[in-house]
Amino acid sequence: MKDVGMRIRVEPDLRDAFVRACREEEIPAAQVIRSFMRSYLTGTLEQGAARKRESAPTLAKPNHKDGTHKQ
């Protein structure tokens, strides 16, 4: 798979702290960002599916023993 670049803007202090933390953990910053992106997508997709399930119309359950919806 071919890689593509992504340019983002962040505050200098945030970038410096992030890069420093990655160096201390000996993990490339790009690897951490890719991991975050995958986790974010997984969570977002799961939340979206849950919202769809919650908002989906439910079938009315019969309220009589014979399976009808009589009132």
Mean pLDDT score, 44-71? 69
- Would the pLDDT of 7 be above 60? yes
List, for residues 32-44, the tens digit of each pLDDT value. Answer: 999 999 999 998 8
Quote the pLDDT of residue 39.
92
CA–CA dist 68, 71 (Å, integer): 9
The domains of the chain are located at: 12-54
Q: How far, CA to CA in Å, does 51 sit from each of 4, 40, 43, 45, 71?
A: 32, 16, 12, 10, 31
Quote the pLDDT of residue 66.
65
Least confident window among 16-25, 28-37, 59-68: 59-68
Quote the pLDDT of residue 69.
59
> What does pTM read for this prediction?
0.61
